[in-house]
Amino acid sequence: MSSTKWIQGVVISLSLLLGACGGGDGDSGRDDAPDLARDTDNVSPKVDSFDATPAAVKMGDAVTFGWSVSDSDNDSLTCKLDVDADGTDDYTISNCANNTSQTHAYVQAGDYQVRLTVFDGVNAAVQRSVPVTVSSSATVIGAGGDSISVLRLAGNDAATFGGEFELTEYAYRKNIGGSTEILSAGTDGTIEFVLITYGEVVNDSYIPPADVILLNIFTDEALVGISMRVDINGQTWNYVTDGCGPNINGLLCESIVFDSANRKIILNNVAVHPSGSGQATGVLTMDGEVKWSVGDEG
């Protein structure tokens, strides 16, 4: 055999051998090689918590939405908030694993299911919702209310009123009617009557109760005063203080402590006098503490 034919035979034999073993540059026919471009282990982000503080507000007040979100793959997360439940996202928060809150003030009353949507850029988004209730100013102011203030009475007409009365409805205002601060409180259990004193009638068809006591306590820092109206069985009693202050009738208002910082007014045997027409027959004194809550303010 010539050397040329022997070399050709060796080359052919090696080629056949390599082909049978899957060697060389050809396709081996196997489909079990890993696909490095496909990441099947990446998982969706997680919403650990989502809340609204406070969850019930009046129009114009702010709600702070807070969340805790995480991603086991350390993907960068983006959050979106639909605060008015209309299906459209109102806020987009980048890097929301670290930026964990958003504040929003509502301008329309209603009940809202606020939706948080979290994206990791790889998997389908995850969502969580929280309820928020927004009430109109007229219905929330004065709704702070479980507070009951008992005032004790003495004087000519005290027995007519049972010697004491309970205040259950309140509305506190600043800078209204010439007063720096004013608190109105009533006994009838319906906030509409208290709001009448500010012209804030919630229901035009509302009829004031037949039996009620309405108390207005006001201050302009230099002057503190009280006006009181009592309606019982179709009869009316009206009372006012003479007004007290550094230069008012020589009186210092020590008997009235207007402590708005702590939402209370302390009355130490405060004397009110008959005013205008009505059934009042003489001086009436009041003693006790009037308390209101933040929900009564506006």
Instruction: Please give the pLDDT value at position 40.
Output: 64
Residue with tokens 């509502």: 106
- Phi/psi for 294 (5° steps) reads -60, -30
Cβ(75)–Cβ(81) below 8 Å? no
Instruction: Please give the pLDDT value at position 96.
Output: 96
- pTM of structure: 0.48
User: Where in the chain do CATH 2.60.40.10 domains reside?
Assistant: 46-135
Q: What is the dihedral of CA 200, 203, 206, 209, to 10 degrees?
A: -50
CATH superfamily of 46-135: Immunoglobulins (2.60.40.10)
* Token pair belonging to 114: 């606020």
Which residue positions in the chain have pLDDT lower than 70? 1-40, 136-146, 177, 188-208, 221-223, 242-254, 298
Q: How far, in Å, are 144, 242, 263, 266 from residue 259 at the CA level?
A: 18, 20, 6, 8
